[in-house]
Amino acid sequence: MVDVRRRQFITLLGGAAATWPLAARAQQPERMRRIGVLMSLAEGDEEGQQWLAIFLRELRDLSWTDGRNANIQYRWAAGNLETARVHAAELIALKPDVVLAQSTTALIALKEQTSTIPLVFVNVTDPVGLGFVASLARPGGNITGFSNYEPLIVSKWLEILKELSPGLKRLLVVWHPPTTPSKELGTVVEATAKSFALGASIRPVRDTAELESAVTAFGREMGGGVLVLPGSFTATNRELIARLVASNRLPAIYPFPFFVASGGLASYGSDTRDLFRRSASYIDRILNGTKPADLPVQAPTKYELVINLKTAKALGLDVPPTLLARADEVIE
């Protein structure tokens, strides 16, 4: 009887010992993962805040919550490349597991700081031409993400602008080279403008003073219109651009809907909110061990045409019913 009880005690003891490591592992806190976010807009920008809200909501759906199993650090560059460089250095010094880069400006700054930490971009144009990735299908390094459009979209912009203003003869292209450094864009704009019988004036601007001077001088002659190229500088100064263009009575086409919400006439471009939503899946996969080199760069799947009828009326423009029928949103 004593031997039986002794064997039972040893068996119970051995079973308990076997469960202790499992219990200890279950009680260990989940490892906190570090996520950096570099935004090119100003911190108070409502559109940028909405993009982040969508991104964070999608991350939570993928089981990543700030303060629980993720530590998310944000930096805002307010459309300035040098500011982006300072913030990129700060984020990389924190040794994050992955960084989300909003725009070409943010990605330029981050790429200068690291060739090993995974970078996921949103709203970047021409990632192959700018040397961010080896190819769209096989990025090949520490960078991947979601592009915002192909340079051939210029044809669509000018088509819409001509529909809005059939008498258009001259085109001012507002461009800030440091934050829109695409190698193809200028060439594509010039060639496309010719096909629409437009004389294009591609005007690089360095600051808001040059921007104001360029628009005002262009507006002194009749038959002009404006194409605003995407970039952190133009996005940050979108309200100023809309006011300048309106005061000079120039029809303009913009790359994103938030320009139209700020008073612009019309926009055609990718759905940035959808790109931010989709970017969360890449952050999740990288945190779970996938290498950026194995995640192909993805193109937009949603494009939006937005028209501001109030602005059209102020400019004396009659928006064709066929164009209104194609619009995804009409602001009245």
Q: Does residue 157 sit in the same domain as residue 228?
A: yes
Residue 136 phi, psi dihedral angles, 5° rounding: -70, -40
Tell me, yes or no, whether 57 and 180 share the same domain: no
Predicted confidence (pLDDT) per residue in 124-182, tens digit: 988 998 999 999 999 999 999 999 988 789 999 999 999 999 999 999 999 898 888 77
> pLDDT category, 4, cuts 50, 70, 90?
very low
Specify if 140 maps to a domain.
yes
Together in a domain, 156 and 206: yes
User: How confident is the model over 215-261, as pLDDT tens digits?
Assistant: 999 999 999 999 999 999 999 999 999 999 999 999 999 999 999 99
Say whether both 204 and 318 belong to one domain: yes
20 in a structural domain: no
Residue 183 pLDDT: 62
Same domain, 167 and 217: yes
Q: Say how many domains are in the chain.
A: 2
Q: Is residue 1 part of a domain?
A: no
Cα–Cα distance measured from residue 258 to residue 241, given in angstroms and rounded to the nearest whole number: 12
Separation between Cα atoms, residue 293 and residue 297, nearest integer Å = 9
Average pLDDT, the chain: 90
241 and 137 assigned to the same domain? no
CATH code at position 194:
3.40.50.2300
Kindly state whether residue 186 falls inside one of the protein's structural domains: yes
- Classified as helix, coil or strand, 178 is coil
Global pTM reads: 0.87
Specify the DSSP element, H or E, that contains 120.
strand 119-124
Do the beta carbons of residue 300 and residue 148 sit within 8 Å? yes
User: Residue 21 domain-assigned?
Assistant: no
Residue 18: inside a domain: no
At residue 19 the predicted structure's pLDDT band, cuts being 50, 70 and 90, is very low
Per-residue pLDDT band for 295 (boundaries 50, 70, 90) equals: very high
| Same-domain status, 144 and 184 | no
Same-domain status, 145 and 247 = no
* pLDDT score recorded for residue 30: 67
* Boundaries of domain holding 138: 33-149+272-301
In this structure, what DSSP letter does residue 288 have?
Answer: T
Are both 141 and 159 inside the same structural domain? no
Look at residue 4 and tell me if it is in a domain: no
In a domain, 23, yes or no: no
Looking at the fold, whether 165 and 175 belong to one and the same domain comes out as: yes
Indicate if 141 and 230 belong to the same structural domain.
no
Which DSSP letter does residue 294 get?
A: G
Q: Both 173 and 135 in a single domain?
A: no
